[in-house]
Amino acid sequence: MLLAFIYSILVIIVLGFLYKWMIDRESPLKIPKAQAIVPVVLGIFSLPLSFAILLLFGYIFHNVFGLTLGDGPLLFASFSTALFAAGLNEELAKLIFTLIAVFIFRKSIKNVYEYILIGGAVGFGFTIVEEYIYSSGVIGLVLRAATITVHMMLGFAMGRHLGLARYNKVTGSGPVWREYLLAYIVPVAVHTLYDALVVNKLLSSDDEMTAFIGVVMALVALVLTIVLQVYVVKRLKSPGTVLTDLTKMSEGTSP
């Protein structure tokens, strides 16, 4: 319990530093304090909502299709479990609260970059609770620390596509529904692929070769995820000068 608490504080410090850095990147524009804090709080509530959605999926699978999540061959079960027990439900919960935050601050949002901030803030709040619940043991903490910003990064992607959809709608300069769909599909795809590889069911196989393949899959996913996090952080150095120029967001009030 103490270790999980200490790790949660570390999560808040690391993600808080990244979040503040991103807010400062928008200079000379600045978001109101409420717009910075409220999405993080909403993100905290997105975790219990994701559990509720997971229970709904489980109920539908069992009572409608007569199946249990994780049934089938090991590789198929790894991907189906990752999709229905993590990717779809967690990203849907975060999307719902991201849209709520966008609706709350619809009159003050000035550009696409602020959509990115809101998406990342919801991912920030989600991570605080998730890391506290799932952190266990020193090895587990080390592995989770390597992917500490993932939910925030997925939130950035979600917010970016939502912002571009809104901008395209206001200006008529590009596709709208494609961006709305990508706001959900991209985080779900990345999240599902990561979980399917890192916690794949091959790891629990009694066959040594199968278990070895499972270990390789998990290690590859961890390395690629670390690289992805570095790549996203580097890319975030430019939106402050690019996406903050897309400022025609005040026309109309819908997300």
Instruction: Please tell me which residue, 134 or 20, carries the higher pLDDT value.
Output: 20
Instruction: Please tell me which residue, 29 or 87, carries the higher pLDDT value.
Output: 87
**Most trustworthy range by pLDDT among 4-13, 78-87, 141-150:** 78-87
* Residue 139 domain flag: yes
Q: Is residue 158's pLDDT more than 80?
A: yes
Q: What average pLDDT does this structure show over 9-15? A: 89
* Residue 192 domain flag: yes
Q: Is residue 138's pLDDT more than 80?
A: no
CA-CA distance, 165 to 174, in Å (whole number)?
Answer: 8
SS3 163: helix
Count of domains observed in the chain: 1
CA-CA distance, 169 to 162, in Å (whole number)?
Answer: 11
What's the whole-number average pLDDT of the chain? Answer: 87
* Residue 235 domain flag: yes
The predicted-structure confidence for 38-55, as pLDDT tens digits, reads as follows 999 999 999 999 999 999
* Residue 228 domain flag: yes
Burial class of residue 228 in the structure, from the number of CB atoms within 10 Å of its CB (0-12 exposed, 13-18 middle, 19+ buried): middle
Instruction: Please tell me which residue, 234 or 120, carries the higher pLDDT value.
Output: 120
* Residue 18 domain flag: no
Q: What is the pLDDT of residue 136?
A: 65
CA-CA distance, 238 to 233, in Å (whole number)?
Answer: 10
Q: What average pLDDT does this structure show over 110-119? A: 93
| Confidence label for 190 from pLDDT (cuts 50, 70 and 90) | very high
Q: What is the pLDDT of residue 233?
A: 78
* Residue 55 domain flag: yes
Q: What is the pLDDT of residue 137?
A: 62
Query: Whole domain around residue 81: which residue ranges?
Result: 36-240
Q: Which of 57-61, 197-201, 250-254 has the lowest mean pLDDT?
A: 250-254
The predicted-structure confidence for 79-105, as pLDDT tens digits, reads as follows 999 999 999 999 999 999 999 999 999
- Tell me the angle at which helices 177-198 and 208-235 cross, rounded to the nearest 10 degrees: 140
Q: What average pLDDT does this structure show over 111-130? A: 94
* Residue 12 domain flag: no
**Most trustworthy range by pLDDT among 19-33, 70-84, 127-141, 211-225:** 211-225
Q: Is residue 125's pLDDT more than 80?
A: yes
The predicted-structure confidence for 209-241, as pLDDT tens digits, reads as follows 999 999 999 999 999 999 988 888 777 766 555
Distances (CA, A) of 241 to 27, 34, 112: 9, 23, 11
Q: What is the pLDDT of residue 206?
A: 87
| Confidence label for 121 from pLDDT (cuts 50, 70 and 90) | very high
Q: What is the pLDDT of residue 238?
A: 61
* Residue 3 domain flag: no
The structure's pTM equals: 0.90
| Confidence label for 253 from pLDDT (cuts 50, 70 and 90) | very low
